[in-house]
Amino acid sequence: MKQDSDLRNNLKSIRTRLGMSQQDLANIASVTRQTISGVESGLYAPSVAITLRLAKALGCQVEDLFWLERDLPEIEAVLAKPVPNGQQLRVSMARVGGQWIAYPLIGKDAFRQDMIPADGESTSVAGTNKVRVRLLDDNLETLHNTVVIAGCAPVISLWARATERWHPQLRVQYNFANSMAALHSLCTGEAHIAGMHLYDPETGEYNTPFVRDVLAGREAVLITLGVWEEGLLLKSGNPMGIRTVTDLVAGGATIVNREIGSGSRMLLEQTLQKEQIPFDTVQGFDNVLKSHQDVAQAVVQGSADAGMSTASVATAFGLGFIPLHQSRYDLVILKEYLEEAPVQQLLSTLGHRMVHSQFEILGGYDISKIGEVVATV
């Protein structure tokens, strides 16, 4: 049967996440390889029996594999605060007082700022670096089903929230850390996954040389989360006419920098070196902030004219942006963690449309390779 134009599927992405070839899946589901190929390419609409077999073979629900584009509803809502007319918005929604309210995800409202509930209360053990923890409830299952990610990409929180909606029993704990700090957290057993975006100009490789150096022989895989645009955040309208890092010095612009070990700082330093600009000639080079959000906020508030971050952060804060580099953001996972069920559940959602749509509407990300294993060390 020819595919319905409104029927969508992510059969290929889920199959490849599980390491199956088309023939592997065909054998398990008792169909032909041509059937799998036809469904994945959108040339064939499977019968109910085949959809059930495919879902069973992949260990998921039918609706995780197939959906109708027209099924996505549209509703009217009241904006919680005014925004520029015609601006496309990311919003969160709630039903309040009998009507839908849309909360614009702009600026700091785009990032989590609430206090995180505690799982327990700790007291230190004298003479050691250990603590005793008194749990605040007896839900140990939640603690066992927690995946810890260290990283600095704001989209990690989007991925985490989407995953928790798909797998309510799974909890994702996102610990903010720059690329090198995240990698060290992985190495010291403080995280299951480290996110990083470091470029090595000597080898032309992303992330892998740094992973080899820090992990020192431990086995790990690198899985791509996406490719993002990095560059200069500027005041809206770019009143100083900045186009390159050379303009920063020529125009006497003040910047804010990131801490040592961050991908943004490394990119700034590499760009300055390429243009043969001494670091000490850039005003504000030693003014260090510790997150993409803080850099954006400094430019918004006027305490800096520019700072290094990403296109998606510029959009979220309504700032101007000059692209300088496309950087691949990878997830680094020790092989010993790959077989753990919570980690597998989290990684499986990289192929889910809910995750893809969150990234796509944010902008500034190329997710065509999302979920691909790009290196093993």
**Residue range 223-257, pLDDT digits in tens:** 999 998 899 999 988 889 989 889 888 888 999 99
Q: Is the pLDDT of residue 301 over 80?
A: yes
Q: How do beta strands 7-9 and 66-68 pair?
A: antiparallel
The size of the chain, in residues, is 377
Least confident of 12-16, 37-41, 83-87: 83-87
Q: For the chain, give the mean pLDDT.
A: 85
Give mean pLDDT, residues 8-31. 87
**How distant, in Å, are the alpha carbons of 78, 196, 318, 333 from that of 310?**
30, 14, 12, 24
Per-residue pLDDT tens digits for 30-52: 999 999 998 888 888 888 999 99
- Dihedral pair phi/psi, residue 322, rounded to 5°: -115, 110
3-state SS of the chain is: CCCCCCEEECHHHHHHHCCCCHHHHHHHHCCCHHHHHHHHHCCCCCCHHHHHHHHHHHCCCHHHHEEEHHHCCCCCCEECCCCCCCCCCCEEEEEECCEEEEEECCHHHHCCCCCCCCCEEEEECCCCCCEEEEECCCCHHHHHCEEEEEECCCHHHHHHHHHHHHCCCCEEEEEECCHHHHHHHHHCCCCCEEEECCEECCCCEECHHHHHHHHCCCCEEEEEEEEEEEEEEECCCCCCCCCCHHHHHHCCCEEEEECCCCHHHHHHHHHHHHCCCCHHHCECCCCEECCHHHHHHHHHHCCCCEEEEEHHHHHHHCCEEEEEEEEEEEEEEEHHHCCCHHHHHHHHHHHCHHHHHHHHHHCCEECCCCCCEEEEC
Confidence band (pLDDT; 50, 70, 90) for 4? low
- pLDDT, residue 125, reads 62
Q: Is the pLDDT higher at 331 or at 155?
A: 331
Confidence band (pLDDT; 50, 70, 90) for 113? low
Per-residue pLDDT tens digits for 333-345: 999 899 888 899 9
Per-residue pLDDT tens digits for 308-329: 999 888 988 889 999 998 889 9
Confidence band (pLDDT; 50, 70, 90) for 212? very high
Give mean pLDDT, residues 175-181. 87
Q: Is the pLDDT of residue 209 over 90?
A: yes
Q: Is the pLDDT higher at 373 or at 42?
A: 373
- pLDDT, residue 3, reads 52
- pLDDT, residue 71, reads 57
CB 182 within 8 A of CB 191: yes
Instruction: Say what percent of the chain tops pLDDT 90.
Output: 30
Confidence band (pLDDT; 50, 70, 90) for 108? low
Confidence band (pLDDT; 50, 70, 90) for 153? confident
- pLDDT, residue 76, reads 77
Give mean pLDDT, residues 363-376. 88
CA distance 184 to 112: 24
Q: Which amino acid is at 252?
A: G
Identify which of 237, 229, 285 has the alpha carbon closest to the alpha carbon of residue 257. Answer: 285
- pLDDT, residue 152, reads 85
Instruction: Say what percent of the chain tops pLDDT 70.
Output: 90
Give mean pLDDT, residues 266-293. 90
